[in-house]
Structure 1
Amino acid sequence: MANTPIDSDAIRALAELLDETGLTEIEYDSGALRIRIAKGGAMTGVTYASAPAAIAAAAPAAVADPADHPGAIKAPMVGVVYHSSEPGAAAFVQVGDQVAQGQTLVLIEAMKTFNPVRAPRAGTVAAILVDDATPVEFGEPLIILE
Structure 2
Amino acid sequence: MTKSNHDADVAFIQALAELLRENDLTELQVKREYGEDDSLNVRVSRQMAQQVVAQVAAPAPVAAAAPAAAAPASEPAADPASDPGAVTSPMVGTVYMQAEPGAPSFIKVGQQVSEGDTLLIVEAMKTMNHIPAPRAGTIKRILVDDGAAVEFGAPLVILE
TM-score band, normalised by shorter chain: 0.5 to 0.7
Answering whether residue 134 of structure 2 is matched by residue 120 of structure 1, we say yes
Q: Per-residue displacement from partner, 1:108-140 (whole Å, max 9, x unpaired)?
A: 000000001000000000000000011000000
Q: Which structure 1 residue ranges, 4+ long, deviate > 6 Å from structure 2?
A: none
- The structure that has the greater radius of gyration is 2
- Alignment partners' CA distance in 2, 1:107 and 1:41: 20
- Which ranges in structure 2 are unaligned for 5 or more consecutive residues? 1-62
- Alignment partners' CA distance in 2, 1:136 and 1:130: 8
1:8 equivalent in structure 2: none
- Alignment partners' CA distance in 1, 2:78 and 2:131: 24
- Percent identity (aligned): 57
Q: Per-residue displacement from partner, 1:29-52 (whole Å, max 9, x unpaired)?
A: xxxxxxxxx61158xxxxxxxxxx
- Which ranges in structure 1 are unaligned for 5 or more consecutive residues? 1-12, 20-37, 43-61
**What is the alpha-carbon root mean square deviation over aligned residues?**
1.9
Answering whether residue 83 of structure 2 is matched by residue 69 of structure 1, we say yes
Count of residues paired in the alignment:
95
- Alignment partners' CA distance in 1, 2:70 and 2:81: 17
- Alignment partners' CA distance in 2, 1:41 and 1:125: 20
Give the TM-score taking structure 2 as reference length.
0.56
1:57 equivalent in structure 2: none
Give the TM-score taking structure 1 as reference length.
0.61
